[in-house]
């Protein structure tokens, strides 16, 4: 009996040592007990504006590591994810454990209202400082904005790979671009953030470009609509188009008609936020999922979903997949990336900014 007891204790100690050795560097010693709780919870609910094509590879990779945790992802508009969580939070209805969305205004409000759990992930030391801009708010992916051209209507010498070149061409070549250039509407949240960041980088010069080229540009619609309009020839070009949408369309053989590039004088990058809700029904599972997304393996899976992983030192797989490191390399270094931040000044300046932007674009 004494031998059996000693053997049992020994096996427990060996198992504990093995679990400790399996933990990534920087993880707390009791993380294995958190994983056990997550497995006991058994499920996880995400509200996101990502399609299954985007988030599916991340869930698949997570389930490979944690097969006992079922993940359900509900697709909805970025603002709707927050509105729905607010409505459900105090009603006792099972609501989201994780929110994933690319909306600066909603994330800023959610942090202020305490809708996001203040949690410091053990992965934080491996991430760039800008990627966790507020307590509990992290970055799921980084979506670069690209310029697209219709190869049939725009000669190669006019397919500029800078914003200065594009906007100058719009002004000097009305026969090619007049009234046939698309972009997001800068008076609304997503387009406003893109344009605000661009102006912050280029200052008065950006306003000069906008005021000269704006009357020939037709803002409106999302990335998919801009691609379709460029494909049909209604548009000759479009800028600030979300690269993940472009890449997914290019996989369908559109490269025969559509050309695209990263602007080398400032590729705007939109960080897609992720956070654990303040009152998750599955807190342990949510915590383990967040750490996984931020890990090297999780960020690789983000790339598999045709999104842009940002963890330093990572290379994305596939011909039409890029990591943020690879985007930076393509534009001549990080200095030529314009990563949108969560500066409250952008929200405070919104009325004045959108009024000036609308005037420049005759809207």
**pLDDT tens digits for range 147-157:** 999 999 999 99
- Residue 310 in any domain: the answer is yes
pLDDT, residue 89, reads 86
pLDDT, residue 9, reads 38
Q: How far is C-alpha 129 from the chain's CA centre?
A: 16
- Residue 294 in any domain: the answer is yes
Q: Give yes or no: residues 227 and 348 share one domain.
A: yes
Average pLDDT of the chain is 91
- Residue 16 in any domain: the answer is no
Buried (b) or exposed (e) across 241-271, using 16+ Cβ within 10 A? bbbbbbbbbbeeebeeebebbbbbbbbbbbb
- Residue 233 in any domain: the answer is yes
Beta strands at 43-48 and 70-75: parallel, antiparallel or unpaired: parallel
Rounded-to-integer distance, Cα 336 and Cα 207, Å: 19
Please name which of 113, 143, 137, 102 lies closest in space to residue 290, comparing C-alpha atoms: 137
Tokens read off for 101: 């969305």
Q: Give yes or no: residues 120 and 37 share one domain.
A: yes
Tokens read off for 66: 């944690």
Q: Give yes or no: residues 185 and 97 share one domain.
A: no
CB 338 within 8 A of CB 346: no
Q: Give yes or no: residues 227 and 283 share one domain.
A: no
What are the φ/ψ torsions at residue 271 (nearest 5 degrees)?
A: -80, 125
- Residue 349 in any domain: the answer is yes
Q: Give yes or no: residues 126 and 197 share one domain.
A: no
Rounded-to-integer distance, Cα 139 and Cα 52, Å: 18
Rounded-to-integer distance, Cα 29 and Cα 10, Å: 19
Residue 113 burial class via C-beta count within 10 angstroms: exposed 0-12, middle 13-18, buried 19 and up: exposed
Q: Give yes or no: residues 33 and 136 share one domain.
A: yes
Three-state DSSP at 281 gives coil
Which residue segment(s) compose the domain that 114 sits in?
27-142+270-325
pLDDT, residue 15, reads 37
The β-bridge partners of 261 are 147
- Residue 3 in any domain: the answer is no
Q: Give yes or no: residues 257 and 161 share one domain.
A: yes
Read off the pLDDT of residues 221-278 as tens digits, 9 standing for 90 and up: 999 999 999 999 999 999 999 998 998 887 677 888 999 999 999 999 999 999 999 9
pLDDT, residue 22, reads 61
Number of domains in the chain: 2
Parts of the chain with a pLDDT under 50:
1-21
Q: Give yes or no: residues 78 and 209 share one domain.
A: no
CB 85 within 8 A of CB 95: yes
Tokens read off for 39: 């497995």
Q: Give yes or no: residues 202 and 333 share one domain.
A: yes
CATH number at residue 115: 3.40.190.10
Q: Give yes or no: residues 176 and 284 share one domain.
A: no
Q: Give yes or no: residues 258 and 115 share one domain.
A: no
Q: Give yes or no: residues 183 and 82 share one domain.
A: no
pLDDT, residue 2, reads 39
- Residue 19 in any domain: the answer is no
- Residue 12 in any domain: the answer is no
Q: What's the N-to-C CA distance of the chain in angstroms? A: 86
Residue 69 burial class via C-beta count within 10 angstroms: exposed 0-12, middle 13-18, buried 19 and up: buried
pLDDT, residue 213, reads 97
pLDDT, residue 87, reads 93
């Amino acid at each position: 009996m004494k031998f059996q007891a000693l053997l049992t204790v020994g096996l427990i100690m060996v198992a504990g040592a093995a679990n400790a050795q399996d933990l990534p560097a920087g993880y707390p010693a009791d993380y294995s007990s958190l994983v056990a709780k997550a497995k006991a919870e058994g499920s996880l609910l995400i509200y996101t504006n990502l399609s299954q094509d985007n988030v599916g590879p991340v869930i698949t990779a997570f389930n490979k590591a944690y097969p006992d945790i079922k993940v359900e992802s509900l697709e909805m508009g970025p603002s709707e994810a927050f509105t729905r969580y607010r409505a459900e939070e105090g009603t006792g209805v099972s609501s989201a454990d994780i929110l994933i969305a690319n909306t600066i205004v909603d994330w800023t409000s959610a942090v202020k209202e305490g809708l996001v759990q203040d949690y410091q992930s053990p992965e934080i030391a491996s991430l760039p400082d800008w990627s966790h801009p507020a307590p509990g708010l992290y970055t799921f992916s980084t979506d670069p904005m690209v310029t697209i051209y219709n190869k049939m209507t725009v000669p190669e010498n006019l397919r500029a790979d800078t914003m200065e070149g594009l906007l100058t061409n719009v002004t000097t070549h009305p026969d090619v671009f007049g009234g046939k250039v698309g972009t997001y509407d800068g008076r609304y949240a997503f387009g406003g953030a893109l344009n605000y960041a661009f102006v912050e980088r280029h200052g008065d010069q950006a306003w000069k470009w906008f005021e000269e080229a704006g009357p020939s540009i037709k803002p409106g619609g999302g990335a998919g609509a801009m691609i379709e309009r460029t494909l049909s020839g209604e548009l000759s070009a479009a800028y600030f188009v979300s690269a993940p949408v472009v890449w997914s369309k290019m996989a369908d053989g559109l490269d025969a008609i559509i050309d695209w590039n990263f602007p080398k004088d400032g590729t705007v990058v939109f960080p897609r936020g992720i956070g654990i809700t303040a009152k998750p029904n599955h807190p342990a599972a949510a915590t383990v999922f967040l750490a996984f997304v931020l890990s090297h393996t999780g960020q690789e899976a983000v790339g598999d979903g045709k999104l842009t992983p940002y963890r330093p030192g990572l290379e994305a797989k596939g011909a039409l997949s890029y990591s943020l490191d690879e985007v930076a390399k393509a534009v001549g270094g990080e200095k030529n990336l314009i990563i949108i931040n969560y500066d409250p000044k952008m929200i405070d300046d919104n009325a004045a900014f959108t009024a000036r932007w609308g005037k420049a674009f005759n809207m």
